[in-house]
Structure 1
Amino acid sequence: MKVKTLMTLTVLAIASLATPLTAIAAQPTQPNHAIAQAQTEPTARQIIEACVQNRAETLPNPFIDVPMNHWAFKAVLTMHYCGAYRQATPPGLIERLTNQSPSDQPETPVQ
């Protein structure tokens, strides 16, 4: 009886050690979307036009954990690129932002 118990424990111990290794080996490798998307940064003009037209989903997705078929995809991209106001931005501010050079922009502190 003790031999049977010992054999059962040995088999269970080996199986419990081998299972995580097979799970790690079975994970599919995914391409790094962040690198590809960092190379295709939209211009300020493209962002403003997409926000005014309420089409932020046409801009590159900077979040690898929010796929295009996710229910909150459009809302996440709209908040990321356009902020909370979206189409309520006055046309005068839009023109001022598009004509502003990068050196004129205020620096935001890194937190």
Structure 2
Amino acid sequence: MQLRELLVATRAVRAVGGLTALTVESPGGGAQSRLDLRRALRALARDRATVQCLLDDGSVFAGTVDRVGADHLELAEHAVDRPRRRGSVSGVRAVVLAAVVAVRTLPPTAA
């Protein structure tokens, strides 16, 4: 079974179930220890991970995150069963970060 990761934008969370009676703060707990969406997306871009990007209107786009700006990401769209190569990219889509609900990594492909 392939491990997949799911990055969820906290502003998209409306409720969380299955909590215990204890609430634990993260170690350090300060603003410096928080991972924001842009930082996490930049890590995915650096790793050249193939992802599915789920938007608040139900749209789903797949490919590789090329760049992350202050308010958007650029997704190189390609077939998820192919690695990101110049010849396999069908287009580049700019996605407004405010519309991103979740980003899911997909299993690695053969290079």
TM class by smaller structure: under 0.3
Q: Which has the higher contact order (CA 8 A, sep 6+)?
A: 2
Which has the greater radius of gyration? 1
TM-score normalised to structure 1 length: 0.23
Q: Which has the higher strand share?
A: 2
TM-score normalised to structure 2 length: 0.23
